[in-house]
Amino acid sequence: MFTGLEFGVGSGEALLVTGRNGAGKSSLLRVLAGLVRIGGGDLSLAGGEPEKTLPEQAHYLGHLDALKPSLTVMENLDFWTRYLGGQGAPQSALATVGLAALAELPAAYLSAGQRRRLSLARLVSVRRPIWLLDEPVSALDREAQAMLAGLMQQHLSAGGMIIAATHGPIGIDQTKELRLGGAP
């Protein structure tokens, strides 16, 4: 899948993974998240919690939102918070992403942007040092993009790392870039 690929991301850094459609951006994030087995080579995490694997220390937000339509907004976030071992308050996370007023609404009734914001609430509800984001601004309006940029900047300022697969800017400055697949 990948040959000759080498990169590093340090504390407080963001790496944008770019390239044409089908270049392997999402696949790379899935490998880092432990969803796809690495075929060869080395994948290592220096620092962090030595007893945990890289996937256990990362949030993976795919381009599809992992929500159960019949559960309410709060029930969805509460499930993910408990499943991922979070200590945060789901209600506070919903307020952060602008969904507190919709806490009792079934997720089936959310717009695409609201579903994305609900997925982003997991980043707030469960603290993890590494964020793996696949097209993070997809379906978000300008206000929600600015909110996400603020969350990402806070995460980086606290020493977190972000690796984001994207076709365009994500609203934060001073990012590194890894281009897959060469020139289009």
Whether residue 183 has pLDDT greater than 60: no
What does the alpha-carbon distance between residue 48 and residue 161 come to, in Å, rounded to a whole number?
11
Give the single-character DSSP code of 19: E
Count of CB atoms within 10 A of residue 147's CB? 18
What the chain holds in terms of domains, given with CATH numbers, is 14-180 (3.40.50.300)
pTM given for the model = 0.92
**Given a cut of 60, is residue 184 above it in pLDDT?**
no
169 pLDDT more than 70: yes
Give 24-62 pLDDT, tens digit per residue.
999 999 999 999 988 887 777 777 788 888 888 999 999
Q: Are 122 and 131 in contact (CB under 8 A)?
A: no
pLDDT per position as a tens digit, 81-109: 999 888 768 899 999 999 999 999 999 99
